[in-house]
Amino acid sequence: MLKKEKSFSYHWGSGVVAEEARVQGLHHVPTIQMLKYTEGEATGQVSIRFCHYSHSGRFSRSPLIMSPEEVEEMRVALEETPELRAMLRRLVAN
């Protein structure tokens, strides 16, 4: 869960990180976020962002890479993010 509100901004809209699941990895902090757009042409839409932070808290724009252990830890972390978890289920639904 989020401790304080985070914002984001893209060319097509900006808004807030509504839910976030993160785990402490060996090399970085894998993170999955639900983005809710509040301004711009995407207002009212939601997106999922797969990202990571450095251990010092710096956001990274490189691809998210997770070990099998981090995947399991992320599954547990997602129990605290019901909307995000529901959206991710759509990725693997039959």
pLDDT in tens, 2-15: 567 899 999 999 99
Buried b / exposed e along 22-46 (16+ C-beta atoms within 10 A): bbebeebbbbbbbbbbeeeebeeee
Q: Which among 35, 33, 36 has a CA at the least distance from the CA of 20? A: 33
The average confidence (pLDDT) of the chain is: 94
Domain residue limits at 52? 7-92
Which tokens sit at 59? 């956001």
Q: Is residue 2 part of a domain?
A: no
pLDDT at 3: 61
pLDDT band at residue 86 using 50, 70 and 90 as cut-offs = very high
Out of 1-5, 48-52, 61-65, which region has the weakest mean confidence (pLDDT)? Answer: 1-5
Going edge to edge, which strands form the sheet with 7-10? 7-10, 13-22, 29-39, 46-53, 59-60
Per-residue model confidence (pLDDT) at position 93: 81
Mean pLDDT, range 29-46, rounded to an integer: 98
Asked whether residue 1 is domain-assigned, the answer is no
The pLDDT score that the predictor gives to residue 61 is 85
Phi, psi of 91 (to 5 degrees): -65, -35
Assigned domain for 75 exists = yes
Number of folded domains in the chain? 1
pLDDT band at 76 (very low <50, low <70, confident <90, very high): very high
- Percentage of the chain lying above the pLDDT 70 cut: 96
CA dist 32 and 21 (Å) reads 5
**Quick check: 47 and 84 in contact, CB under 8 A?**
no
